[in-house]
Amino acid sequence: MGEKKWAEVRPSEDYFRILNPDGSVKDGAKASVPEVSREELLRWYEVLVETRTFEAMVLRLQRRGVLSVAASSRGEEACGLGAAAALQAGDWLFPAYRQLSAVLYWNAPVDRIMAGLMGNTPEHIREHLPLPPELPHSVNMMPYPIFLGAYIPLAVGCALADKLNGRKHVSLAFVGEGSTSEGDFHDGLNFAGVLESPCVIIVQNNQWSISVPASRQTAAATFAQKAVAHGLPHERVDGNDIFAVYDTVKKAVDRARAGGGATLIEAVTYRILDHNSADSSAVYRTEDEAEYWKTLDPVERFEKYLFNAGVLEQATKTAIEERAEKRLREEIDRGRAVPPTSPDDMFLHHLQGEPGWSVKHQRDELACELAGGNPFLDMTGEGVQ
């Protein structure tokens, strides 16, 4: 471990905020509290509880060796949820890395997520955890990308396809602040501007891309202002304030749907925990800043608001927590019960139709090896016996 660490630069809090960290409504912001039904507010709260519960369960499973790696969105949950709640069924959602709350809001099947974390192929998961014939109305969710920023041009094209065909759908994509340094981010924004693509790009600025702080990603004052050069409108919001995120994204989504083009939104938040279970943030940063950000926690803030507003009471909170715990445990058990994927699955779905001579031959080689044979005895190309 080196001795030097990065100095942290606290981002400006000169951003759009509705809820104060103590759950009160910011002075003068009362008029801008978004109109959301009591049921919807409780749904948001439930998704936040589920997100936190599931990620804690997954982290424990990783520590027990059940999963090879696990990441958490703790402290950032309002970004994904506030944005996802602004979408409509039929829209498209391109997650980046820490948007579990977004997909849970739209009823992503947790058993399938678990089976995916266990390293099963999509084909295998589909076979063992079939979806019900009547799917709930939902958005279209892209799989987690792993690569950084490369979904941004894709989301722009996806939205453009809807526009060119007169469909009123919006595509929403997330990117971390580190990935704004990737060319893909700028390619996407540039094309979105020129082609007037109905999409919304959200920079979930959690201050750290593994070990590199936001101050080393850009010399610009904010990530939001990167939209200026691409001719796009931009907003910068308190990413730990679910009302601010929802309200801002909703306006951007509505504008895109109405033909007004793309918007870039920076949601300012903080990665409280390590990058993932393979990381140790103590190596490169002091923990003081994380302590500060814990006082801005998005879930506690929203919970306080709900209590103050009379939407939530202790009995309801306990019931939501118990229901989440029970449901997630069952879903995780179902995901873990999926039998191991066959190695042969690796050959599936690279091309439609015939995969070609070499892939067919290699597939036979692996089958031969797994059956205890020597796969290298074909000297004439007539096939592995």
Q: Which stretch binds another protein (CB under 8 A): 3-11, 139-147, 244-252, 288-296?
A: 139-147
Q: DSSP characters for 85-117? A: TT--TT-EEE--SS-HHHHHHTT--HHHHHHHH
188, 198, 213, 298: which one contacts another protein (CB under 8 A)?
188
Q: How far is the CB of 159 from another protein (least distance, A)?
A: 8
Q: Which stretch binds another protein (CB under 8 A): 130-138, 183-191, 247-255, 321-329?
A: 183-191
Is residue 164 involved in binding another protein (CB under 8 A)? yes
Distance between CA atoms of residues 192 and 175, nearest Å: 15
CB-nearer residue toward another protein: 9 or 194: 194
Residues 6+ apart with CB under 8 A from 182: 148, 149, 150
Is residue 119 involved in binding another protein (CB under 8 A)? no
Helix (H) / strand (E) containing 53: helix 38-63
Is residue 121 involved in binding another protein (CB under 8 A)? yes
CB-nearer residue toward another protein: 161 or 278: 161
- For the chain, the C-alpha Rg in angstroms (whole number) is 23
Is residue 350 involved in binding another protein (CB under 8 A)? yes
**SS3 category, 326:** helix
Is residue 157 involved in binding another protein (CB under 8 A)? yes
How far apart, in Å, are the Cα atoms of 296 and each of 81, 172, 299, 352? 16, 25, 9, 50
Binding residues among 206-265 for another protein as defined by CB under 8 A: none
Is residue 147 involved in binding another protein (CB under 8 A)? yes
310, 357, 371, 372: which one contacts another protein (CB under 8 A)?
357
Is residue 354 involved in binding another protein (CB under 8 A)? yes
Q: How far is the CB of 92 from another protein (least distance, A)?
A: 8
Q: Which stretch binds another protein (CB under 8 A): 59-67, 180-188, 204-212, 257-265?
A: 180-188
340, 351, 371, 372: which one contacts another protein (CB under 8 A)?
351
Distance between CA atoms of residues 266 and 270, nearest Å: 12
Distance between CA atoms of residues 237 and 323, nearest Å: 32
> What are the φ and ψ backbone dihedral angles of 4, each rounded to 5 degrees?
-80, 145
CB-nearer residue toward another protein: 61 or 366: 366
Number of residues that bind another protein (CB under 8 A): 48
Distance between CA atoms of residues 110 and 133, nearest Å: 17
115, 155, 245, 262: which one contacts another protein (CB under 8 A)?
155
Q: Give the tokens for residue 24.
A: 């009160």
* Distance in angstroms between the alpha carbons of the first and the last residue of the chain: 53
User: How many CB atoms are closer than 10 A to CB 318?
Assistant: 10
Q: How far is the CB of 163 from another protein (least distance, A)?
A: 9
Which of 283, 297, 331 is CA-nearest to residue 58? 331
Is residue 187 involved in binding another protein (CB under 8 A)? yes
Which of 62, 65, 95 is CA-nearest to residue 80? 95
Is residue 380 involved in binding another protein (CB under 8 A)? yes
Q: Which stretch binds another protein (CB under 8 A): 69-77, 103-111, 145-153, 218-226?
A: 145-153
14, 40, 123, 322: which one contacts another protein (CB under 8 A)?
123
Distance between CA atoms of residues 200 and 311, nearest Å: 30
Q: How far is the CB of 14 from another protein (least distance, A)?
A: 32
Residue numbers at the binding site for another protein (CB under 8 A)? 121-123, 125-126, 143, 145, 147, 150-162, 164, 171, 183-184, 187-188, 190-191, 194-195, 197, 348-359, 378-381
